[in-house]
Structure 1
Amino acid sequence: MAIQGVRNWLSWIMVTPFAAWAGLRLSGFEPDWPWVPVVAFTPYAAGLAVVALGLACALRRWAAVAVALASVLAMAFAVLPRALPDDVPAARGPALRVLAVNLMVGKADTDALTALVGRTRPDVLALQELTPAALRRLEAAGLRRTLPHAVTRPLNGVGGSAVYARHPLEAGTAINLGGFGQARAWLAHPGGERIEIVSVHPCAPSRHGRQPCWQAGLEALPRAGGELRVLAGDFNATLDHLPMRDLLASGYRDAADVTGRGFQPTWPQSSAPLGVAIDHVLADRRMAVRDFAVLALPGTDHRPVLAELSLP
């Protein structure tokens, strides 16, 4: 009896945390800190839930096995589609290449960024954490020779942002919440389309009390519908966060998810064992996502992301 009791206790100790995780993830409720940063690691939790299922099977605790299996299936439903390419709409319009880069308080290597722009040839570059000093370095490095049009909102600290483009831009009303600026601009594409571009960067929910600012920054982003829109940048959120799921439900598609590359981490850029995908390109669902890549850039903790889209 003692051995059976220990097995029963161990099985539930292993299974219960993942059952609670799966239940919260699939619910319409998102608790405050620390759940908001923790839920970003749901793909890793899904893997550990499989391990817990295997251990419960080995212990022959069948009630725990049933709960563990339900947890695994729930998490798989949430995360596995990111590894599977989706069908794309029959958009046969001109291409739009979008590159998004977080400059880490302006510390990124701006010469390397200019070279990256030259290699990847984006039509649009969305920058976050753009400082006045970084702006001066980018201008001196010749970024305007490749992307001559710009709407820039540089700030000291983490709140600056910008949109650069190959085609004419009209400045939109920036989103400013909690010291984080999100530049907006209207792109006049030579194909005849008018597209709103938003350089996304809400507050980071890195400590207690930051969730309201983070949530408000995501909720302030324009919903899909009407004019074509592309949201690109550091969302400080993964596809496991409720505000991101709400944003996608309005009519956007995540380029990484569409191409089956949704598990590729974008932060941190270092060799840390656990990375998360918080940098995204969201495109209006009427656009086709043709390609997506996670790149590298010296001097910043985020990996740049590049999406190739086709307009309707």
Structure 2
Amino acid sequence: MDDAGDPGRASRARWRTVAVVLGWLALAALLVPVVLRLTGFERGPFAYVVPLVPWVVLGALVPAVLAALGRAWVLLGASVATAALCAAWVAPLFVATPASGDVELTVASVNLRAGAGDPEAVVRLVRESGADLLSVQELTPEAAAALEETGLGELLPYSAVLADAIWAGTGLWSAHPIDAWEGLDGYTFRQVRAIVELPSGPVTVLALHPAAPQLLVHRAWSAETAALVDVLDGVDGLVIAAGDLNTSRDHAVFRDLESRGFVDAADEAGAGLVPTFPQDRTPPPLVAIDHVVTRDLDLVATSLATVVVQGSDHRALVVGYSAP
């Protein structure tokens, strides 16, 4: 008996066909960020898609289930292969670098959303985490004054501050002496580079905030992130950089930074996927664009946490470093 003579069997066949079609469509959508990461093609809106690569591991369950329902084994294999590839890219986030001893250095970073972040929350974060270094982005003059009035200077008495209107300002606060510092020219927002005298010796610390990608054209983002990679690579000696880097670890420029010997704290600490943006716009934050990266530091990241700062659209980042 053929399907035409068995309505139930014909209906099941139709549903299997629908499941397979939907499965291929879902897989095609999931392959977009994968192909972009493989090719490094990030023009226009595609720059916003690349950071979604880690979510493909979970998203691949959809076409896989549809493939199983439709008995489409090629689709199932393609879905599993896609998930496996993305899992391999994400895996370093879950493998911690061995370390021993107590936390010796704590680095924090917070974006104040054009100065709207709660200064008391920032000071509380510093106090409770015992932060030694604090990078602040989107620091307005009013926000800088509020941080000082709330007691930040009592906890971190040394500072290199370039406060500016709306989104442009950046600042660095330190528990240890700042021997010298400067702002970097040629960027949309302020960038701070300083020599901080840690107990173990001097280290170059940068508080960074390159331009963000725009929906259609993002020349500033491309130029500034590439330039800052060169700036970091050109530093002699130990380097710590912290801030809203406006890149995920899957963007080509961030992978270029890692190829030059820089280590992302999330990777080093085995913290897993820890999204920081956007806070309060989506049910959870979706992408990790705030980072602490180091090179040749004689400490390794052993803990990484995010903290909600009321008024900010980023979660603050707190990283603890211990002896290897």
**What TM-score does the superposition give when structure 2 sets the normalisation length?**
0.86
CA contact (8 A) 2:19 2:66 kept: no
Residue 150 of structure 1: CA displacement?
0.8
Distance verdict in 2 for CA 1:157–1:166, change over 3 Å = same
What letter is aligned with 1:215?
S
Counterpart Cα distance in 2 of 1:171 and 1:215: 29
- 2:266 is matched by which residue type in structure 1? A
Q: Report the counterpart of residue 239 of structure 1 in structure 2.
A: 249
Runs of 4 or more off by more than 6 Å in structure 1? none
Q: Which has the larger radius of gyration?
A: 2
User: Does the CA-based 8 Å contact 1:224-1:284 persist in structure 2?
Assistant: no
Unpaired segments of 5 or more residues in structure 2?
A: 4-12
CA distance in 2, matches of 1:121, 1:43: 31
Alignment of 1:1-312 (within 5 A): 3=14, 9-25=21-37, 27-82=38-93, 84-88=94-98, 95-191=104-200, 193-210=201-218, 212-221=219-228, 222-223=232-233, 226-270=236-280, 272-275=282-285, 276-284=287-295, 286=297, 287-310=299-322
Query: Aligned-pair RMSD on alpha carbons?
Result: 2.5
Q: CA 1:156 to 1:195, structure 2 compared with 1: closer, same or farther past 3 Å?
A: same
Instruction: Give the drift of 1:167.
Output: 1.1
- Kept in 2, the 8 Å contact 1:96–1:311? The answer is no
Q: Within 2, Cα distance between the matches of 1:125 and 1:311?
A: 20
Structure 2 contact 22–66 (Cα < 8 Å) conserved:
no
Change (3 A) 1:71 1:80: same
- 1:121-170 per-residue CA deviation (whole Å, 9 max, x = no partner) reads 21111110111111111222222111111111111021110111111113
TM-score between both structures, scaled by the size of structure 1: 0.89
1:5, CA displacement in angstroms? Answer: 6.1
Query: In terms of mean alpha carbon deviation, does 144-153 or 6-15 score higher?
Result: 6-15
Query: How many percent of aligned residue pairs carry the same amino acid?
Result: 31
Deviation at 1:243, TM superposition (A): 0.9
User: Residues 225 and 251 of structure 1 are in contact (CA less than 8 Å); yes or no, is this contact kept in structure 2?
Assistant: no
**How far is the alpha carbon of 1:234 from its aligned partner?**
0.8
Q: Tell me the secondary structure at the aligned position of residue 104 of structure 1.
A: coil
Count of paired positions: 307
Return the letter of the residue paired with 1:21: P
